[in-house]
Chains A and B, each alone.
Chain A
Amino acid sequence: MAAIELRNVRKAFGTVEVIGNVNLSIEDGAFVIFVGPSGSGKSTLLRLVAGLEDATAGQILIDGTDVTQLGPAERQLSMVFQSYALYPTKTVRQNMSFGLEVARLPKADIRTRVDAVADILKIGEYLDRKPRALSGGQRQRVAIGRAIVREPVAFLFDEPLSNLDAALRVEMRIEIAKLHQRLGATMIYVTHDQVEAMTLADRIVVLDRGSIQQVGTPMELYQRPANLFVAQFIGSPKMNVLAVRPDGSALVFADGRRADLGVSFPPRLAHVGFRPEEVQLLSIGQGHLQGKVEVVERLGSDTFAHVGLGELGIITARMPGNVLSISPGQPVGLGLSGNQLHQFSRDGSRLS
């Protein structure tokens, strides 16, 4: 298995810089997820690791060896593509064997390996079929199987589940998690789906506009987002953010409203954030801010209340279970906890 390290990696297409000076080290056996909105450079970063794109500057190391100049296969990585990229004219077996044939492994070895992997992924019965005769989920398994047979030092996944329907996506997500436990291999996984990121990753790398915003475990990102971007990207529904000015132990909101929270705030504070479960819905007149419930969403397990605060916009509150006592149009008070507030400066970075 392999540890992967990126040093000062840059990538530009012509004059457009898509990756700007990325430094990252990935531990051996880790499951790392690159997450970010479209255009954040997450796929490009993965393709740089794969060797499918040449870095404009910087170094990529696998187990301490500089592989920046090596081609994709020489880096001994396997990749699972978004479209699966199965060779349509080859059977499943031929698809899985192709890389080994290129590497000129003995025929018998190839057979054994393919059979063993097919067994793990339960695709043994499809080995003689062409990809077009398979369902989406089966194709996905074949794509993963093709990656596994090569016994790579690390696996790369480029949004592998985005072409599957919701139910199958959850199922394959669990499969991939099991596979990681079983193989113990380093895996780098790109997705725009933060639920996938939270559930699968040991560590998440959040990217935006070609640079790393934060690297950390899912819980670190959730609990201590390094900046406003991460705060609002991780978590669903999004974190509520309000622009504020500190005034001693009180906050002055954009529309002049004032709330005394009884804790002292740093002078550089410009935004406060709180997750939907970090705000309390109270009777009108109580708490720190007054508003009106505009929409109530009932999921059974949770109830979301979207509360209008006039000029300040709408904030979302989450309550466990089905809370029958709230309804649209109802005036409510909101209770915040001064200690739990995420505090951000004017430039969006976290103030601890």
Chain B
Amino acid sequence: MSIVGKNASSAKFRRNRWLLTGLLSLYFIYTFMPLFYVITAATKSNQDLFSTFGLWFAEDFSLWENLATLFTIQDGIFLKWMANTAYYSSVSAVGAALFSTLAGYAFAKYRFFGKKLMFALVLGAVMIPQTALVIPMFLMLSSMGLTNTSLAVILPSLVFPPGVFLMWAYIDDAISNELIEAGRMDGAGEVHIFSSIAFRMLMPGFATVLILAFVASWNNYFLPLVMLNKPDMFPITVGLAQLYSTAISGTGGVLLFTVVMTGALVSIVPVIAAFLIMQRFWQGGLGAGGVKA
């Protein structure tokens, strides 16, 4: 971007820069405060959690004890939840991204009978409330004895309409029709064109959908809540929520309050780290959908 006419040395510009940086810094404090709280809470004993100032560390540093508790409660079930989450989310994300990419490619690059109707169906699907889908799905799967299996959580997550929309927008821009036609002139079949020419070009879009589908699956609470009732099948979200309700109802003892926060910390750190590492992808790719819209 050019900054023609923005005279960096002018007094007005300097004043505005202080003002706007200050404004965003305030919002940053708001954004950061809860995350900082998780960190301090995870380092406190349960007693200190209630008796010391929330946004600073207590004198006793209890992070290691909390971690030890977290990973040993109910025979180390938290570790199991982490593994479950990783498994559900990564399989869902890879599958959803792959199928979305294929479908988005078809919508972006072909004329075919029924295209408009199908595209409208996919877009309309985002309006369906979760309960309208998950509850009947539960009733159906339970009659087939498929609840309480990983498939019950993974298969529905493979349908990711926003991914189709995003890939459609991305591919429409990133891959010109002429390029595909060049492939046809070269004698390549449609599948070959996709696999050897198009796919590598749409990797940035694919990566974005992968991240979004991962977040959607890792974020999902309602689907596993309904589908799973064996604690050792839970993902972190359902497990932590359950720990929290036992903590608040007092049945699990007061100890659990810090453990919940420690669990929150342990589960968001790797995802935040992954986001920071992959920022190149989501920053570029999220834009594609937005700009297209």
Contact = CB atoms under 8 A, between A and B. Distances in A.
A91 to B, nearest CB: 13
Interface stretch (B17-25, B27-35, B181-189, B214-222): B181-189
Contact of A81 (B181, B187, B192): B181
A77 to B, nearest CB: 7
Nearest to B199: A89
B12 interface: no
Interface in A78-102: 78-79, 81-83, 85-90, 98-99, 102
Given A52-B181, A82-B178, A85-B179, A99 B186 contact: yes
A233 B188 CA distance: 39
Given A85-B182, A87-B179, A98 B188 contact: yes
A85 B176 contact: yes
Given A89-B200, A102-B187, A79 B181 contact: yes
Nearest to B192: A102
Given A88-B201, A89-B197, A81 B188 contact: no
Contacts of B179: 83, 85, 87
Interface string B167-210: 00000000010110111111110001000110011000000000
A215 interface: no
Nearest to A147: B185
Given A87-B197, A89-B197, A89-B201, A102 B188 contact: yes
Contacts of A73: 184-188
A99 to B, nearest CB: 3
Contacts of A71: 184
A279 to B, nearest CB: 44
Contacts of B182: 79, 81, 85-87, 146
Nearest to B176: A83
A77 B185 CA distance: 7
A50 interface: yes
A150 B181 contact: no
A162 to B, nearest CB: 13
Prevailing SS type, chain A contact patch: loop
A72 B196 CA distance: 18
Interface in B130-157: none
Contacts of A88: 201
B201 to A, nearest CB: 6
Contacts of A87: 179, 182-183, 197
Size category of the B interface is 10 to 19
Interface string A134-152: 0000000000001000100
Prevailing SS type, chain B contact patch: helix
Nearest to A150: B186
A99 B185 contact: yes
Contacts of B184: 51-52, 71-73
Contacts of A299: none
A103 B192 CA distance: 12
A88 B183 CA distance: 12
A165 B182 CA distance: 23
B101 to A, nearest CB: 16
A85 B186 contact: no
A130 to B, nearest CB: 12
A85 B198 CA distance: 12
Interface in A25-54: 47, 50-52
Interface string A165-207: 0000000000000000000000000000000000000000000
Contact of A102 (B178, B181, B186): B186
A78 B178 contact: no
A271 B196 CA distance: 58
B201 A50 contact: no
A44 to B, nearest CB: 13
A71 B193 CA distance: 14
Residue of B178, B181, B186 with most chain A CB atoms under a 10 A cut-off: B186
B187 A78 contact: no
Nearest to A98: B186
Contacts of B197: 87, 89-90
A81 B183 CA distance: 12
Contact of B185 (A79, A83, A86, A89): A79
Nearest to B179: A85
A81 B185 CA distance: 11
A102 to B, nearest CB: 4
B178 A81 contact: yes
Contacts of B201: 88-89
Interface in B211-235: none
Contacts of A81: 178, 181-182
Contacts of B183: 87, 98
A51 B183 CA distance: 13
A89 B201 CA distance: 7
Nearest to A156: B185
A72 B185 contact: yes
A292 to B, nearest CB: 45
Contacts of A150: 186
B185 to A, nearest CB: 5
Interface string A276-295: 00000000000000000000
A52 B180 CA distance: 10
Interface of B: 176, 178-179, 181-188, 192, 196-197, 200-201
Given A50-B185, A146-B182, 6 more contacts: A79-B185, A83-B176, A85-B176, A98-B196, A99-B186, A103-B187
17 contacts: A50-B181, A51-B184, A52-B184, A72-B185, A73-B185, A73-B188, A77-B185, A78-B185, A85-B179, A88-B201, A89-B200, A90-B197, A98-B183, A99-B185, A103-B187, A146-B182, A150-B186
In the complex, the 10 A-B pairs of residues with the closest C-beta atoms, listed nearest first: A73-B187, A99-B186, A85-B182, A85-B178, A89-B200, A81-B178, A102-B187, A72-B184, A85-B179, A79-B185
